[in-house]
Amino acid sequence: MSELPLQRDIALAPLTTLGVPATARWYLRAQSVEILRAGLDWARQQGLPVFVLGGGSNVVFAEDWPGLVLQPALRGRALEATSDSHFIVKVDAGENWHDTVAWTLEQRWPGLENLALIPGSVGAAPVQNIGAYGLELEARFHSLDALDSRSGTLVTLDHTACRFAYRDSILKHEDGRHLIVTAVRFALPRAWTPCLTYRELAQQFAGGETPTPRVIFDAVVAIRRRKLPDPAELGNVGSFFKNPVVDAATYAGLHARFPDLVAYPQAEDRYKLAAGWLIDRAGWKGRRIGAAGVHAQQALVLVNLGGARGADILALADAVRTDVAERFGVELEQEPQRPGALPA
Ligand SMILES: Cc1cc2nc3c(=O)[nH]c(=O)nc-3n(C[C@H](O)[C@H](O)[C@H](O)COP(=O)(O)OP(=O)(O)OC[C@H]3O[C@@H](n4cnc5c(N)ncnc54)[C@H](O)[C@@H]3O)c2cc1C
């Protein structure tokens, strides 16, 4: 292979939506599997740690990255197969998520519309099984291709192998962290029906005609624009905490103390608590510590008010987490990732 297009001492703030300052000692945008492989080989020879970066919308850099930041930039989208029940659509990891959702609707392969306007790349979407407005990626997932960073071979993982759960998959765990997603296949139903379980969508379309996929897409985009800060204007990584899932006794105790507690019943007699409600109720909405703030309309979103460092955001997150634990006895788990090296 000709010389690798490696870049040195790259500022990471413009490559992330939080926009906190950090530098990558080395950076490589990989437009092919061969370049990904060559980047991994090069880093191994240099003894440098590798971090895989997508669109940078779910990552918090609190320090400079001492090794290689490797960004899969493979592009391509195609209908790979059809069956009586589904369109199987294959999309390469470097494609933008929202543009891909819009493209599937243009092709008349609906099914992803509830996940419109989530920032980031297609390759990162299965990592935390992205979800919004009543739908999780796993409901439309067929399989993924990934490069095994240890052996250099390509592997395919089906739905079961991905072990999807709420904001979770095998890719976040020890037995999957060596995988770099290169492409994702979606199974989009021929017999499409709208997913209107989310309260705001249900209310909007109650009693009317069945909305088309495009109408749902537009509605989701409008709600998100109204509710969430645009990272281009106010640095953020979306929800900073997962919604904690608790057992029935914990839920009952909290509900007795706080009758307006927002919670959603789950399988096996468990309850998902709205983390935003807990943070709001603890009085954090709109508060700031230095240049790190809790968004004034959306308590679940921590924002860079201008000039914040990653450490400032993490210190604010710690203060929120400690306070919520003391008041409600509930532990909040951070959703965005701290950069970690691929396992050697
Ligand atoms: C305004 C805003 C709103 C958001 N709303 C939602 C929402 O509604 N629902 C939701 O689920 N999320 C939401 N998010 C979070 C984020 O958009 C998603 O998690 C998204 O999938 C991250 O994609 P990315 O390409 O930016 O990943 P990055 O932030 O670059 O990376 C995230 C993690 O995935 C890993 N990764 C990235 N690419 C690959 C790859 N190809 N192979 C293996 N690992 C990889 C990284 O190493 C890192 O650990 C929101 C974020 C913002 C800023």
- 271: domain CATH number? 3.90.78.10
Q: Whose CA is nearest to atom 21 of ligand 1?
A: 125
Is 137 found in the same domain as 191? yes
Cβ of 126 below 6 Å from ligand 1: no
171 token code pair: 């890719």
111 CB-near residues (< 8 Å, 6+ apart):
104, 140, 186, 188, 189, 192, 213
> What contacts 328, CB < 8 A, 6 or more positions away?
254, 278, 282
For residue 80, what are its two tokens?
């790979």
Q: Would the CB of 93 count as within 6 Å of ligand 1? A: yes
Pocket test for ligand 1, best of 18, 127, 300, 313 (most atoms within 8 A of CB): 127
Pocket test for ligand 1, best of 18, 57, 138, 297 (most atoms within 8 A of CB): 57
Q: Could you identify the atom of ligand 1 that is nearest to the CA of residue 18?
A: 53
Cα–Cα distance measured from residue 126 to residue 95, given in angstroms and rounded to the nearest whole number: 13
Residue 289 pLDDT? 97
Which runs of consecutive H residues, i.e. helices, occur in the chain? 33-46, 97-106, 159-162, 199-205, 213-227, 248-257, 275-281, 310-328
Residues classed as catalytic: 167, 239, 335
Distance (angstroms) between ligand 1 centre and the Cα of 128 equals 7
Residue 174's domain comprises 77-226
pLDDT at site 2: 64
pLDDT < 50: residue spans in the chain: none
The atom number, within ligand 1, closest to the CA of 228 reads 1
Domain boundary among 208, 226, 244: 226
Q: What is the dihedral of CA 339, 158, 37, 23, to 10 degrees?
A: -20
Instruction: Give the CATH number for residue 46.
Output: 3.30.43.10
Residues 6+ apart with CB under 8 A from 216: 113, 114, 194, 195, 196, 201
Structural domains counted in the chain: 3
Q: Are 58 and 117 members of one domain?
A: no
Residue 323 Cα to ligand 1 middle (Å) = 27
The verdict on 249 and 120 lying in the same domain is no
What is the structure's pLDDT at 167? Answer: 96
Q: What Cα–Cα distance (Å) separates residue 93 from each residue in 46, 71, 72, 306? A: 26, 10, 7, 31
CA of 238 to the centre of ligand 1 (A): 9
Same domain, 303 and 167: no
**Closest CA to ligand 1's atom 45:** 124
Please give the helix or strand (H or E) that residue 13 lies within, else none. none
Fill in the amino acid letter for 283: G
